[in-house]
A and B are shown apart, each in its own frame.
Chain A
């Protein structure tokens, strides 16, 4: 028991450094997903037929293939093939980013469809171009509405990032496994890793909830907590 505690105490700084790598992966992936997801959602809702087809195919592919398979496909396959020498962290960030983009696109698409079409017409009627109407009127509302679903996506990606250890990215999971294989204190170490994930998820979700309340439109919906 005491031995376990001292192993954890010794390993903790090393594991916490891994949470830095995890943080980079998750934040990077979520931002890639945000940018790409918004673009694809616009394409699906407002785009021409060929745009909708391309986006539809992208989503179908990334939703249909397991993240682990995608990781191998990209890291050992595509990136190698293209001669891109990405570090494991960069590769994981990109793959997770492209995966969450598919899910985020659907989140944003749903939000877009929920905004009364009349507001787009009103923006057009005032002389705004379609792009201006989307960026000034539609997206600010879409982003607000999407925060709860986006927060779900965040917690999923945070936990999926643990898969990065299979290609050797030095994040929480990889570091835990490394220490465990030397000290044979598997159980306490994995419990510690689990707790770190738990705390990260919890603070992220809390933060997003706070953001949701901060940008809430007065008189429009109920206050959450």
Chain B
């Protein structure tokens, strides 16, 4: 595999729910280390697209390449192995409620990676330390704040050694004062070179992290380009209008 070859690439993804066509043929490429940011109005299909990328939602048509090969999503074994290498972070965390923070991480290591309990435990501790929750491992999700839950979710995903991380509005369900701690973790991931695609309305993440911005609207990528291209002064793009609105809201809040 050459350096420039994308880790994850999809082509012509379509998806309908009933008669509503949610994705109308979307394609994108994620080269190693790239950070792409999905923005756009609510209902535009960002979550559906992200979930199509690891087939949590099965696309109606389209092709997925991973590490240079086509993923055969009809074969359960292949699909499960593929998903292992693609981490996902959800808006509402989706921690396993009956397990402690530590066990949330351990369970996939044991059941999916078939690690020994001891190994899994050490790995889980390392990941919790990385997100600053080394002392919270014994707590259950219901005993954690939103920001802490999301950091556990990130630790859980990273413990699987994913090649790509999909993040679906990771800070949108958080109280404003808790956004910072999660943004900090995502930033540090970016600096370590993690390949990511993230839907977000967090203006600080959009401007500073994005290699490319994808503006999604009505099931299509309406605009794509670097932050400079799309958000430069007076370039009059959809993305700029959208971000101006986000800025206004952020301004009102602070």
- Residues of chain A touching chain B, judged by Cβ–Cβ distance below 8 Å, are 115-116, 118-119, 121-129, 132, 136-137, 140-141, 144, 217-220
Q: Give the distance to chain B from A129, nearest Cβ to Cβ, in Å.
A: 6
Asked if B49 CB lies within 8 Å of chain A CBs, one says: no
A118 CB contacts on chain B under 8 angstroms: 90, 92-94
Q: A127-B108, A132-B112 are in contact. Are A119 and B83 (CB under 8 A)?
A: no
3 closest residue pairs by CB, A with B:
A127-B84, A219-B142, A118-B94
Question: Which residues of B are found within 8 Å of A137, using beta-carbon distances?
Answer: 96, 98, 107
- Report the bound CA distance from A210 to B35 in whole Å: 51
Interface size on B, residues (CB 8 A): 32
Does A125 lie within 8 Å of B140, measured CB to CB? Answer: no
* Chain B residues, CB < 8 A from A144: 98
- Is there contact, CB below 8 Å, between A126 and B108? yes
Q: A126 near B157 (CB under 8 angstroms)?
A: yes
Whether B160 lies near A126 (C-beta < 8 A) is: yes
Total of A-B residue pairs, C-beta within 8 Å: 80
Q: In residues 130-169 of chain B, which contact A (Cβ within 8 Å)?
A: 139-143, 153, 156-157, 160
| B222, chain A: closest CB distance, angstroms | 27
Q: Shortest beta-carbon distance, B197 to chain A, in Å?
A: 14
Cβ–Cβ contact B94 & A127, under 8 A: no
| Residues 54-78 of chain B, each 1 if its beta carbon lies under 8 Å from chain A, else 0 | 1010000000000000000000100
> Is the Cβ of B87 less than 8 Å from the Cβ of A140?
no
What are 20 sample pairs from A and B whose C-beta atoms fall under 8 A apart? A118-B92, A118-B93, A118-B94, A119-B95, A122-B153, A124-B83, A125-B83, A126-B83, A126-B156, A126-B157, A127-B84, A127-B160, A129-B80, A141-B98, A217-B97, A217-B98, A217-B142, A218-B142, A219-B142, A220-B97
Contact for A127 among B83, B98, B141, CB less than 8 A: B83
Contacts beyond the supplied A116-B94, A122-B95, A129-B80: 20 A-B pairs with Cβ under 8 Å: A118-B92, A118-B93, A119-B94, A119-B97, A121-B88, A121-B90, A122-B153, A123-B96, A124-B83, A125-B54, A126-B160, A127-B80, A127-B108, A128-B80, A132-B111, A137-B107, A141-B97, A217-B142, A218-B143, A220-B140
Residue in chain B with minimal CB distance to A124:
B56
Nearest CB on B from A219, distance (A): 3
- Is the CB of B178 closer than 8 A to any CB of chain A? no
With A132-B112, A136-B107 as contacts: A125 and B97 at CB distance below 8 Å: no
